Structure 1
Amino acid sequence: MRLSAIGRTAVTATLLIAAAACGGRDSGEAGGTQATGATGGQCAGQQTTGITDTSLKLGGIYPLSGPASAYGAIPKGIKAYFDYVNAEKGGIGGRKVEFVVRDDGYQPPKAVEEARRLVEQEQVFALFQTLGTPSTTATWDYTNQQKVPQVFVATGASVWGTDTEHPWTIGWQPNYVSEARVYAQFLKKEHPDAKVAVLYQNDDFGKDLLGGFKNAISGTKITIAAEQSYEVSDPTVDPQMRNLAESKADVFLNVTTPKFGSQALAADAKNASWNPLHIVNNVAASITVLKPVGFENVQGVVSATYYKDPVDPTWAEDAEMKLYKAKMQQYAPDADPQVPYHAFGWAAASSFHKAMEAAKCPTREGLRDSVRNLQGVQVDMLLPGVKLETGQGDGFPIESLQLMRFKGERWELFGDVIDTRKEFGPLTG
């Protein structure tokens, strides 16, 4: 159950007070050891499992195998960033970062198993970048019971920013409801009478984005002509695409993860009798999703983003992009720096770096409070104008996006960066 805006504000205010004082819970409860003299003073009594004066251990859970294995590129970008910082910057706050990655195959029960292994056996300081709405939903009760930070999870479900019962878990990327609002705004301006066919993943991820889209078009002339769902265990979405094509909708909203995103794009390209404007959600908009379909078959597809695309020549002379490409080649020579998921990982790791440095205490409580009190933090791999911002009543670090259209062999940004907080108001549970 989600609480009212007043309830969220009260809880978040409590967290911010805790951040100011850097006071923590009694670590005699489950979750780790107490802070020692190294953290002393106002940080005494807080959890320091997984962190010392010279080391910091993080755990990540990703689908390195299974239907969402394309996301396995993300931890390569993260590890390259941490390897670079360890070797050339002395780590984060003088602490060398160890990043332990586990594979859950995009299976929630496996994610729970791996979370327990990371917390209880690996003794990590925090879980960083748990990927996927189903996996994160399956693990956040456990991590919050253990009082282990589960920060910048790699999923845009709106619940990570509206829930008040899991203060140790927070998202990073723009939430799916806000992303849906951006697509709805685009259609209101460019296709105000659009009839939309929707393919969506039958879980909290797909339903979150679809629900946000439906709410955003309410009261307009835009209508949903047809909708079809799929399961992550389905071998193909071809049957769903045939059904959607029969609607003759003039817009196709593709709410999928990478494997099924490619299938939907390919099915759309093969159907000569149906040629809708194709909108693909950000999580399936990587060049690695589009390339197998054939670039000639994805011209004009629309999506939205918030971080710099390493394929876009706009950033060829950008200092952060040049650093990223050089260090990827140095520390992850088997990983192609042109793959956007690697840049995503680099941006997320850089965001963690900023949040950890801002923590008033080098403790689990300190990190928990820091990620909920980010004030206009600039991360150089994010698009200009996109900053990390959290605070009282706002648990969404990134809430700005820019539309993009595929042209030639790459995405081209168009329009301005849209701050969804200002454009649509705060998202409430």
Structure 2
Amino acid sequence: MHRIARRGLAIAATLVVAAASSACGGTGDSGSKSGDTTGVTDTEILFGTHMPLTGPASAGYSKIAPATKAYFDYVNAQGGVHGRKITYKIKDDTYNPATTNTVVRELVLQDKVFAILNGLGTPTHTGVLEFLKSNKVPDLFVASGSRSWNQPEKFPHTFGFNTDYTVEGKILGTYIKKTWPDQKVCFFGQNDDFGQDSLAGLETVLGADKIVAKQNYVTTNTNVAPQVAELAKAGCQVVYGATVPGFTALLIGTAAKLPGGTFKPQWVISQVGADLLTVGTTLGAAKPLLKGMVSDNYLPSVYDATDPWIKLFKDINDKYNAGVQFDGNIVYGMAVGYLTVQALQRAGKNLTRESVVAAVEKGGFKGPGNVPLRYSKSDHSGYGGMRLSKVNDTVDKQDYFGNPFTTDDGKGEVKEYTEAVPAPPANGIGTA
């Protein structure tokens, strides 16, 4: 009898403790953790990524993840986030979807990362969406402007970062329509969602019938001479390139080598393939061919030494990234790091996979971007617009001009955006 009574008291006590634990559970700063804490310890948060450190897309892009890591090292030196240091595991996928699949599975199943952060590439990352979804792994700030990342009902853990390619196509298309209304416009793009989404935006503004020639490329074939010859044959006067940096250089360099040397269209190139330092380095002595190239961006210009974000990122690059050549890829990587730290701050001390997803969906982040971030429960895209840029006559700067623009990926109007960019906090670490 006494044993039964004691057993009953023990069960009752256990239920009381369980009820108390339940009452103070959940995510955020209060109570005990409730959710998936894979990749999180009392002292560390482990992120992983896939990046083309080698291969056809490595030019420029290989600098992104190390720049993000440098920003994390800077934050770690100041105590980390809620007492945890951030570790960033970077794996080379050579921009090959099969390799991406392998390394992402390693990161998730073997390394047990908390989240995949800024995985790069439309064709590469598309192939791991279902795997990350099935394992409920946060898939944060994908390094691509594909609209595939903005499907919160289908992929609730995936978030974009770049302005999507259709929005960009509409903004650049609007500029083309206004500036060169009577010239023949053509398109050269990557044979995947990158190219297709860019073309969709361009056609929304210009009309499909106004694009007189359309050519594409695959990253496994660096011979683009046949496609470029077709563009020349069509009499293209303005060519929109939805290209990664290496193929921007191939496109422009190949055009210059055509017989007669007369094919000299106005180049309008997607932001992801238009960084002047990256493409200029690839072209070498042919760098002057980039004179007058029009592009766009949503982050501060590396050529504006007075910009407080550029000053911050340069200082971090010098101290934590071995002072590698400072270009748009470095700015991009550090902007990703800054946003990630903001999300972690907001997710609270009791960090879980669920809490970081909820933190991003809350939206309202402010940072170095010259256009707004759009995160909400119903919108998992990233930046919502672009500011136009042009390579100067001496081909040593890529200057912004005019105000930024915002729009949607549908039929919405392209509008000027005039809100000022906030200065970084004194310690360079974003808060929630």
The verdict on a shared fold, with TM-score over 0.5 as the criterion, is: yes
Aligned pairs for 1:29-428 (under 5 A) are 44-70=33-59, 71-87=61-77, 89-162=78-151, 164-218=153-207, 223-271=210-258, 272-286=261-275, 287-293=277-283, 294-310=286-302, 312=303, 315-333=304-322, 335-336=324-325, 338-359=326-347, 362-375=351-364, 377-380=365-368, 382-383=369-370, 386-407=371-392, 408=394, 409-421=396-408, 425=412
Q: CA deviation at 1:164?
A: 2.1
- The residue that corresponds to 1:15 in the other structure is none
- Return the TM-score normalized by structure 1: 0.84
Q: CA deviation at 1:57?
A: 0.5
Deviation per CA, 1:362-403, whole angstroms, max 9, x where unpaired? 11001112222211x2113x23xx232322432222112101
Alpha carbons 1:373, 1:389 under 8 Å: kept: no
Gaps of 5+ in 2: 1-23, 415-432
Residues 1:392 and 1:127: Cα distance change in structure 2 (over 3 Å): closer
For 2:109 and 2:152, how far apart are their aligned partners in 1?
Answer: 25
- Return the TM-score normalized by structure 2: 0.83
Residues 1:40 and 1:248: Cα distance change in structure 2 (over 3 Å): closer
Q: CA deviation at 1:36?
A: 9.0
Q: Percent identity?
A: 32
Alpha carbons 2:26, 2:35 under 8 Å: kept: no
Q: CA deviation at 1:187?
A: 1.6
Alpha carbons 2:28, 2:351 under 8 Å: kept: yes
Across the two proteins, how many residue pairs are aligned to each other? 382
Residues 1:392 and 1:58: Cα distance change in structure 2 (over 3 Å): closer
For 1:120 and 1:422, how far apart are their aligned partners in 2?
Answer: 35
- The residue that corresponds to 1:21 in the other structure is none
Alpha carbons 1:134, 1:203 under 8 Å: kept: yes
Structure with bigger gyration radius: 2
Letter in 2 for 1:137: T
SS in structure 2 opposite 1:166?
Answer: coil
